[in-house]
A and B are shown apart, each in its own frame.
Chain A
Amino acid sequence: MNPTPDNHDQGPLESLADDALTLEIRRLWEILDPPPGDLADGVLATLAAIDLEFEFELLTLVEAHDALAGTRSLTSQMSEVGQWSLEFAGPDFRVLLRISTVNERRRVDGWVLPRLPMRIQVASASAGHPSYDGVEVDAHGRFEITNVSPGLSRLWFMPQPGEQPGGSDDSRLPIATPPFWI
């Protein structure tokens, strides 16, 4: 009850509220048991590696009208092309794509045959895996993705959980097109 001014050891720890005291415990552990210095780098290396071997089924390009898609490597050239179409095939379905240009942005109209319940998204080819939610195919197997940035891209097809008879949510792999220019 007689605080000694020189002794700052006599700190306020015991008077801290629960959350503040918990935070002090956290800080203590952060000092005593720091993560390995290369922890985040190791994680990033692993994630970069699985980008390359991320498990998905790959569709095959079976047809490209205008003969440019999938082979051109210059976006400047592609921007001159108004509209083109592609067809990809996988074991369970085919997908027809028509890509058009609106104000220098791309629009993708697609048709999945036969119609399967899935969500579809477009991602940069370098992304390596699906990320956001995407759009759903409608009752006729059609979908549209608007306002897409031109560039080397993939379409991802994610089977919808719950609609596969007898299948669990994790039982089906995402399906992707090979990279192609949009």
Chain B
Amino acid sequence: MTMRDTAEDPASVWDTAGTSFARWRAGDPAALDELVRVMSPILWHVVRATGLDKEQSEDVVQTAWLALVRNAHTVGDPQAVARWLCTTARREAWRVSKNAGRSTAVDDESLEWHLPSQASPESEVVLSDEQSRLWESIGHLPERCQKLLRIVAMEPRPDYARIAGELKMPIGSIGPTRGRCLDKLRHELERTGAGR
């Protein structure tokens, strides 16, 4: 199983994580291995979406796992483990962002929030035409939309109320904001599509 495979169906990853966690808590050490391999790529994306650099992100992912192992008995329902991990990782990421001298984690200007340049030599990735078009369209969105869409995209079942709290946005505003950002994205897609 490759990491990319596990990311294909987010919902089933959630269930796999819950099952592995339950087995681990029941005393099967190998199940922790599975859990780590399934969830680490997801945590990476959750953390990177907050704007941390790669090195900090690796540290935060590790911290989230340490927190889980040390507090496994507080998770409760095993099916909640994926959300527990994502929330813990995201919180830790915001904390690291703030400690790095940024007054608030929501200030777009103060975060290292930028789209990696596809043209840069280190990102030798091959995007399909559709993905290139999506990429280009995302790049035309306001930064706040880019950031929010990335955050909510990376977690299969995001907890909007929590994310609202962490982004210091009003509770209940994430869903509608996501909808508006997606509408803007569709508009951009239509524009770029029509131009071809």
B153 touching A33, Cβ below 8 Å: no
Is A127 in contact with chain B by the CB < 8 A criterion?
yes
The reply to whether A32 and B116 form a contact with Cβ atoms under 8 Å apart is yes
- Contact across chains for A22 and B153 when beta carbons are under 8 A apart: yes
Report A156-172 CB contacts with B as 1/0, cut-off 8 Å.
00100000000000000
Are B32 and A10 in contact, with the CB atoms below 8 A?
no
Q: Which residues of B contact A25 (CB under 8 A)?
A: 134, 138, 149-150, 153
| Interface residues in B68-98 (C-beta closer than 8 Å to A) | 69-70, 72-73
Q: Which residues of B contact A81 (CB under 8 A)?
A: none
**A8 touching B4, Cβ below 8 Å:** no
> Which residue of A8, A14, A35, A127 contacts B129 across the interface (Cβ within 8 Å)?
A8
The answer to the question of B119 belonging to the interface, with a C-beta cut-off of 8 Å to chain A, is no
A-B contacts counted at CB < 8 A amount to 146
Q: Which residues of B contact A33 (CB under 8 A)?
A: 45, 48, 116
Does the CB pair A47–B7 fall under 8 Å? no
- Spot the interface stretch: A89-97, A105-113, A129-137: A129-137
> What residues of A have a CB within 8 angstroms of the CB of B133 in the complex?
9, 11, 13
Q: A9-B193, A46-B62 are in contact. List 17 more A-B contacts (CB 8 A).
A: A7-B196, A13-B134, A18-B178, A23-B10, A26-B10, A29-B150, A31-B125, A31-B127, A34-B41, A35-B40, A36-B54, A39-B44, A39-B58, A127-B27, A129-B69, A129-B70, A131-B26
